[in-house]
Structure 1
Amino acid sequence: MYVGKKFMLIAWIFVLPALCIRFFTTIYPIFETFRISFFDVNLLKGTNEFVGLQNYMNIFHDPKMITSLKFTVLFVVGSMLGHIILGIVLALILNMKIKAQKVLRSIVLLPWAMPTVVIAIAAKWAFNNEYGLVNDFIRWFNPDFKLDWLIHTDTARLAVIAVDLWKDIPFFAILILAGLQFIPSDLYESAKMDGAGPIQSFFKITLPLISKNIFILSIFFTMWRITMFDIVYAMTSGGPGEDTSLIAYRITTEAFTNMNTGYAASIAIVLFIAMAILSAISTYAAKKVDY
């Protein structure tokens, strides 16, 4: 018994540094953010006053925050619909038995392998009216086409969603492709013998068997979309106005541009709670859904 306690003590001694690092880099910042959210901490004004729930109440009366919330919902829904539909289509293409299949899969993954900031900066130039790649391509078919994509609300939002899809759809498709690899070819042969065409085989065999993969991937990709920051930071800086400002970008702006640390902390806590609730619901649904 003494030897066992001695070994346990030694084990805790070795684990303690890692626990301390985890505490000071994860647990402590969360509690400190929660504490600051109840204070009016503004470095520009030099204030540090306890205001209770005032910061949280301000969230629902802040026009900029409402705009960020609306675009975040639009961004998440639009992006995930695109990921699911286009990701499945791309996965089916990559699953075809063609020459240079491995090379094609490697090429498709290139956008995902590139840093998001690099892609966003490149996209900022690509959507320029005068010398952008996008307008240059459109002018092949319509020489008089002119459009400043990133200075109009609707087109700027569409451009942000499109760049996000171009960046992450390949990775989503590769993960769906992994699920396709486990579907026995005998099922398709039996379906073909019974007179089922490609479309019927897809809806009766392929889609039901990869539905679990799609559901789980959609959960994680949705959470990544909710906390997306870098694509907006590098591509539009939240513009025009605040129309492409995602919630994560709004937190950064309030904290490091407006120096309104207390208000930024309250937004971060609300986002943290929303993510926790979404995670719990998704985990419960994943256990209950019968595939």
Structure 2
Amino acid sequence: MKALLVKPPKKFLIAWLLILPVLIVRGFTIIYPIIMTFINSFFDINMFKGGVAKFVGLKNYIDIFSDSKVISSLHFTITFTVVSMIFHVVLGILLALLLNMKFKGKKLLRTITLIPWAMPMIVTGLAAQWAFNDDYGFVNDLIRRIFPYFHFDWLTHPESARIAVILVDLWKDVPFFAILVLASLQFIPEEIYESAKIDGAGVIKSFFSITLPLIMRTILTLCIFFTMWRIVSYDIVYAMTTGGPGDSTSLLAYRIAIEAFTNLNIGYSSAIAVCLFIVMIIISSLSFLAIRKHD
């Protein structure tokens, strides 16, 4: 009996020793930068001023609320995240239902569907610059086949540039969202639908009474991660519009990068990053509470 009590701790000790190097590396590459970002946010560190750290307390955080560029980035980040996620859920579920239907070539269609997601965002963003160009872009070319005299340069106007960024984001990531929802759909037994059909339930009623409740946990979980990815999006703006025209398409993560690596204002960029980090914690906590409430 004593031998049985001694062996498990030794096994656990060996397991901890084996993963200890990984924990040390991950701790150094994740925990240390987070701590230093919090510390730097209370200092004025600007490389153009010699890089000397001067303690300023909450000044960097106060300056955020009077910075029109940060406020503009915050507004677009909220718009981009909310609109993109609404369409991710709606289009993702519709595409998943389509891919879940029985027809010839569905495996090939599922493979083709993932191609946009597999493309690097930098490549997608650069291709989108050409696609939305007024003179030689295929978007306006398709529109001109219906309206021959249509001329509009999407990326030179604030509102249309924002629409273009959201459309490209949806084109790239909705297929991946749909495939993950599809995986959840395939765990629903066919017998449930057959029983509902016998009871007189139609397609729409079966969807809202059977399909949606059974995949809701998956959708809520996906919304957490996809929302976080939208909030910290950087590459789509960098490759497609570089935040322009003006600052109309500058996402908050892109603004942090500009302040840190272009303006070399380390203290101020750290303060913005901390605010973004807090927002992400709040959103993820609320999302987990929604999942727990659903259970």
Structure 2 SS opposite 1:33: helix
What does residue 168 of structure 2 align with?
163
Deviation at 1:16, TM superposition (A): 4.2
* Cα deviation, residue 196, structure 1: 2.6
Q: 1:257 and 1:160 mapped to 2: Cα distance?
A: 22
From 30, 37, 46, the counterpart of 2:34 = 30
Alignment of 1:65-84 (within 5 A): 65-84=70-89
* 1:135-181 CA-partner distances (Å, limit 9, x unpaired): 11111111111111011111000000000000000010011111111
Identical counterparts, % of pairs = 61
Look up the match of 1:111: 116
Counterpart in the other structure of 1:122? 127
Deviation at 1:189, TM superposition (A): 2.1
| 1:101 and 2:90 aligned | no
Q: What's the offset of the Cα at 1:288?
A: 2.2
Describe the SS at the equivalent of 2:54.
Answer: strand
Distance 2:175 2:15 in 1: 43
Is the partner of 1:44 in helix, strand or coil? helix
Q: Which moved more, 1:273-282 or 1:123-132?
A: 273-282
Cα offset, 1:19, TM superposition: 3.2
Q: Which stretch shows the higher mean deviation, 42-51 or 64-73?
A: 42-51
2:181 corresponds to 1:176: yes
Q: 195-204 or 160-169: which moved more? A: 195-204
Question: Partner of 1:17: helix, strand, or coil?
Answer: helix
Which position in structure 1 is the counterpart of 2:270?
265
Q: State the 1:37 CA deviation.
A: 0.7
CA contact (8 A) 2:46 2:266 kept: yes
SS at match of 2:233: coil
1:5–1:71: structure 2 CA closer, same or farther, 3 Å change rule? closer
1:38-53 → structure 2 map (5 Å cutoff) = 38-46=42-50, 47-53=52-58
Query: How far, CA to CA, are the matches of 2:129 and 2:71 in structure 1?
Result: 25
**TM-score, with structure 2 as normaliser:** 0.92
2:48 aligns to what SS in structure 1? Answer: coil
Range with greater deviation from structure 2 (67-76 or 194-203): 194-203
CA displacement, residues 212-251 of structure 1 (integer Å, 9 cap, x when unaligned): 1111111111111111110011000000100100010000
Q: Are the equivalent residues in 1 in contact too, given 2:220–2:287 (CA < 8 A)?
A: no
**1:87 pairs with 87, 92, 117, which one?**
92
CA distance in 2, matches of 1:285, 1:130: 47
Q: Which residues of 2 match residues 126-145 of structure 1 at below 5 A?
A: 126-145=131-150
The 1:257/1:100 distance shift into structure 2, 3 A limit, reads same
Q: Does 1:201 align with 2:187?
A: no
Paired residues in the alignment total: 290
Give me the CA root mean square deviation: 2.0
Gaps of 5+ in 1: none
Question: 2:161 is matched by which residue type in structure 1?
Answer: A
State the distance in 2 between where 1:261 and 1:59 align: 14
Structure 2 residue ranges without an equivalent (≥5): none
Taking the aligned partners of 1:5 and 1:278, their CA distance within structure 2 comes to 38
* Cα distance between partner residues in 1 of 2:120 and 2:107: 23
Cα gap change, 1:168/1:8 in structure 2, threshold over 3 Å: closer, same or farther? closer
CA–CA distance in 2 between the matches of 1:7 and 1:115? 42
Please report how far the alpha carbon of residue 31 of structure 1 lies from its aligned counterpart in structure 2 after TM superposition.
1.1
Distance 1:165 1:6, change over 3 A: closer
Measure, in 1, the Cα distance between the counterparts of 2:164 and 2:259: 24
